[in-house]
């Protein structure tokens, strides 16, 4: 059983004065998230990330396609008992205190009254809000609200947690704290699906990521594989400085230290370079593919349309 | 289900209770009720009648104002502020949310009506030095006002499910005014001919009949209110509110919450 699965999930918004024009926000999305996985949903602003999350949460209805969570339709109330959700830039009832808010959400999520208070106290301590007392949420900073948001998302100990831009708008310390919280949920074996446009966070936390742009899925895979996919260069180290002349035109960047040469060559020309070095009787020390960053992959995927055009 | 409904209702009640604007309205209404004896003193021989008319009208009018003021934001504010997102991501059905919010507003109105009625009877006691059997009959007018609040809550909630707060307020208040003069609409329908008769008859049955819920003049003159009227008014208000709330649920069940 997959944690999350979407099949041709699509959403069109009616636009214009007479609402007769359809603007696609998500186009036939097919996605699978495994149990226990931390899955990053990447895309620039307006890519369709939040629309997808809203469909999964039953806040909006798909124009076509379907989605299942833990093997059941995503609108099934039994499923909602097992999921937690933190919306983008969450706004909570600001006349409530943090314990009151969590009590309310615990009631709605069916958390048994016995032990509810202990659970709330434990969660507030876990998100670093143990000493907020009965201060109303309207007096909370953005970082504090985000932490309350995480607490409400996990008050009922869900199996799958959806986080929409959890680090958005936070200062470096706030981002670090939220990242640590997500890491602790990951360590506890929870399935985490989070959308973000902050790639370093996805790189640090995710097992797999998907890139969505203009409503279309542009790529999905294991973070390391995706980074390697952008690695179009390799570093070659050999002994025999005199061989450099034979491959100089393929080496974009080369450094000679004594008799050892370190050069960067295009992966496409790697075989040719190695053959020339063999002919020159140079002694090969190492060949290392240079890993790209997730950012390079992301930029490559989001720029594909421009290239096609 | 019951725990979810009661949680939503209690939270709605708590929101209203912590809203300063509500207190402004209540204080203003209580001042009006408390000031009624002064009006009575300048009305020779009809002190009680003036006090009853002003007091009961204040309870009715301010209840309606509070029902509209809070009701218009019940759903639309939750959508605008996106607080609804974290509710619907939980095992809460959309109809439960609507019914819970409606119950919360009714609890608020019940508390407000009880408070204002207590203030009204206190003013009556100060003015008359005692409370008689006829004064107990005034509670029927308060009860009919409460039925009016029940209907107004359903109406404002209906508008709140598909419109912004401002438009909801305009629609709800317009319907309240039309409903207050619903007897005139029925009389017009009886006199009209052709398509105008069909149209006005249909409109007369659709708009809420608030005229039959206004017995302030009768109780002020100590005229008895029959049990039959109480029964049918109750039945009418409950059925009308249930139908309008069902409409609100139908709209909300299908709504995409952008």
A90 touches chain B (CB under 8 A): yes
Residue A192: CB atoms within 10 A of its CB come to: 24
Residue A196 region by backbone torsions, left for phi larger than 0, else alpha for psi between -120 and 50, else beta = beta
Determine, yes or no, domain membership for A180: yes
Let me know whether A35 and A55 are in one domain: yes
Contact call for B14 and A90, based on CB within 8 A = no
Out of B15, B90, B254, the one facing A93 most closely (by C-beta) is B15
Let me know whether A29 and A167 are in one domain: yes
Let me know whether A257 and A181 are in one domain: no
What pLDDT is stored for residue B77 in this prediction? Answer: 84
Let me know whether A256 and A139 are in one domain: no
Cβ-Cβ contacts under 8 Å for A27 (sequence gap 6 or more): A10, A48, A215, A216
Instruction: Kindly report whether the global pTM for this prediction surpasses the value 0.90.
Output: no
Closest residue on chain A to B79 (Cα): A59
Q: What is the largest CA-CA distance in chain B?
A: 63
Let me know whether A283 and A163 are in one domain: no
Closest residue on chain B to A25 (Cα): B258
Distance in angstroms (rounded) separating the CA atoms of residues B257 and B65: 27
Average pLDDT over residues A85-89: 88
Selected residue with higher pLDDT from A287 and A307 = A287
Chain A residues in contact with B257 (beta carbon < 8 A): 54, 59-60
Let me know whether A65 and A14 are in one domain: yes
Determine, yes or no, domain membership for A300: no
What pLDDT is stored for residue B70 in this prediction? Answer: 86
Distance from CA of B251 to the nearest CA of A (A): 13
Determine, yes or no, domain membership for A302: no
Determine, yes or no, domain membership for A18: yes
Domain that holds residue A261: 232-289
Determine, yes or no, domain membership for A307: no
What pLDDT is stored for residue A231 in this prediction? Answer: 60
What pLDDT is stored for residue A160 in this prediction? Answer: 94
What pLDDT is stored for residue A229 in this prediction? Answer: 63
Q: Of A208, A228, A248, which one is at a domain's C-terminal end? A: A228
**Considering chain A, what percentage of its residues have pLDDT values greater than 70?**
92
Let me know whether A99 and A209 are in one domain: yes
Chain A residues in contact with B89 (beta carbon < 8 A): 57-59, 80, 83-85, 162
Top residue of A22, A54, A59 to mutate, by most chain B CBs within 10 Å, is A59
Let me know whether A173 and A103 are in one domain: yes
Instruction: Encode pLDDT of A226-254 as tens digits.
Output: 666 666 778 889 998 888 888 888 887 78
Out of A61, A80, A87, the one facing B90 most closely (by C-beta) is A80
Distance from CA of B255 to the nearest CA of A (A): 7
Contact B26, B115 (CB under 8 A): yes
Distance from CA of B18 to the nearest CA of A (A): 7
Q: What is the CATH number of the domain that holds A245?
A: 3.30.70.980
Instruction: Encode pLDDT of A266-304 as tens digits.
Output: 878 888 889 999 988 889 998 887 766 666 677 777 766
Determine, yes or no, domain membership for A301: no
Kindly tell me if the per-residue pLDDT of A17 is higher than 80: no
What pLDDT is stored for residue A161 in this prediction? Answer: 94
What b/e readout covers A112-121, taking b as 16+ CB neighbours within 10 angstroms?
Answer: eeeeeeebbe
Q: Between the CA atoms of B234, B239, B241 and B245, what dihedral angle is there, to the nearest 10 degrees?
A: 160
Write down the mean pLDDT value for chain B. 86
Determine, yes or no, domain membership for A308: no
Helix (H, G, I), strand (E, B) or coil at A8: strand
Chain B residues in contact with A59 (beta carbon < 8 A): 84-85, 88-89, 256-257
ipTM summary value: 0.82
Contact call for A108 and B256, based on CB within 8 A = no
What pLDDT is stored for residue B158 in this prediction? Answer: 92
Out of B85, B91, B258, the one facing A81 most closely (by C-beta) is B91
CA-based radius of gyration for chain B = 20
Let me know whether A168 and A282 are in one domain: no
Q: How many domains does chain A have?
A: 2
Alpha helices in chain A (DSSP H): 49-57, 77-80, 98-108, 116-126, 142-154, 172-187, 199-205, 223-229, 244-247, 270-279, 294-302, 304-308
Let me know whether A88 and A217 are in one domain: yes
Token pair listed for A198: 């902050």
Let me know whether A26 and A47 are in one domain: yes
A145 touches chain B (CB under 8 A): no
What pLDDT is stored for residue A152 in this prediction? Answer: 92
Let me know whether A87 and A167 are in one domain: yes
Report residues of chain B scoring pLDDT below 70: 21-22, 29, 32-33, 36-37, 40-41, 43-45
Chain A residues in contact with B254 (beta carbon < 8 A): 61
Distance from CA of A255 to the nearest CA of B (A): 57
Token pair listed for B122: 């206190």
Determine, yes or no, domain membership for A284: yes
Q: What is the CATH number of the domain that holds A213?
A: 3.40.50.300
What pLDDT is stored for residue B102 in this prediction? Answer: 92
What pLDDT is stored for residue A213 in this prediction? Answer: 85
What pLDDT is stored for residue A228 in this prediction? Answer: 64
What pLDDT is stored for residue A15 in this prediction? Answer: 82
Out of A13, A77, A108, the one facing B87 most closely (by C-beta) is A108
């Amino acid at each position: 059983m997959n944690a999350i699965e979407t099949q041709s999930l699509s959403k069109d918004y009616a636009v214009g004065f007479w609402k007769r024009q359809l603007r696609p926000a998500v186009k036939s999305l097919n996605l699978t998230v495994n149990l226990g996985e931390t899955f990053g949903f990447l895309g620039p602003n307006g890519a369709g990330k939040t629309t997808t999350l809203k469909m999964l949460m039953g806040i909006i209805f798909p124009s076509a396609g379907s989605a299942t969570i833990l093997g059941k339709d995503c609108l099934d109330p039994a499923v909602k008992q097992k999921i937690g959700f933190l919306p983008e830039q969450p706004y909570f009832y600001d006349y409530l205190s943090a314990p009151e808010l969590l009590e309310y959400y615990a009631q709605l999520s069916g958390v048994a009254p016995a032990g509810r208070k202990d659970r709330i106290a434990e969660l507030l301590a876990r998100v670093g809000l143990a000493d907020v007392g009965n201060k109303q949420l309207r007096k909370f900073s953005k970082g504090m609200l985000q932490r309350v948001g995480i607490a409400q998302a996990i008050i009922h100990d869900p199996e799958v947690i959806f986080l929409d831009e959890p680090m958005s708008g936070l200062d470096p310390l706030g981002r670090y704290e939220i990242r640590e919280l997500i890491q602790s949920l990951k360590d506890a074996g929870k399935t985490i699906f989070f959308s973000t446009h902050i790639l370093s966070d996805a790189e640090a936390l995710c097992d797999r990521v998907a890139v969505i742009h203009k409503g279309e899925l542009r790529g999905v895979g294991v973070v390391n594989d995706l980074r390697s996919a952008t690695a179009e260069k390799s570093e070659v180290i050999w002994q025999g400085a005199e061989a450099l002349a034979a491959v100089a035109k393929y080496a974009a960047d080369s450094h000679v230290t004594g008799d050892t040469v370190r050069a960067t060559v295009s992966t496409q020309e790697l075989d040719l370079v190695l053959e020339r070095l063999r002919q020159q009787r140079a002694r090969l020390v190492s060949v290392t593919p240079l890993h790209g960053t997730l950012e390079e992959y992301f930029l490559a995927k989001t720029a594909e349309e421009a290239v096609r055009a | 289900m019951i725990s979810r409904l009661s949680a939503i209702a209690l939270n709605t009640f708590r929101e209203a209770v912590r809203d300063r604007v509500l207190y402004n309205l209540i204080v203003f209404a209580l001042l009006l009720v408390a000031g009624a004896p002064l009006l009575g003193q300048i009305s020779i021989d009809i002190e009680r009648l003036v006090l009853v008319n002003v007091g009961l009208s204040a309870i009715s009018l301010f209840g309606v104002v509070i029902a509209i003021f809070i009701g218009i934001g019940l759903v639309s504010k939750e959508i605008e502020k996106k607080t609804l997102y974290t509710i619907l991501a939980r095992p809460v059905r959309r109809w439960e949310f609507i019914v819970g919010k409606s119950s919360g507003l009714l609890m608020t109105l019940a508390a407000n009506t009880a408070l204002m009625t207590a203030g009204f009877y206190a003013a009556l006691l100060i003015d008359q030095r005692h409370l008689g059997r006829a004064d107990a009959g005034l509670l029927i007018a308060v009860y009919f006002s409460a039925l009016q609040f029940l209907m107004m809550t359903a109406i404002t909630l209906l508008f709140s499910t598909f419109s912004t707060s401002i438009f909801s307020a305009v629609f709800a208040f317009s319907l309240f005014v039309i409903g207050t003069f619903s007897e005139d609409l029925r009389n017009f329908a009886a006199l009209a001919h052709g398509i105008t008769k069909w149209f006005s008859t249909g409109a007369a049955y659709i708009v809420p009949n608030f005229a039959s819920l206004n017995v302030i003049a009768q109780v002020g003159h100590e005229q008895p209110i029959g049990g039959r009227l109480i029964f049918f008014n109750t039945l009418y208000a409950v059925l009308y509110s249930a139908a309008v709330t069902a409409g609100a649920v139908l709209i909300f069940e299908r709504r995409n919450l952008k």
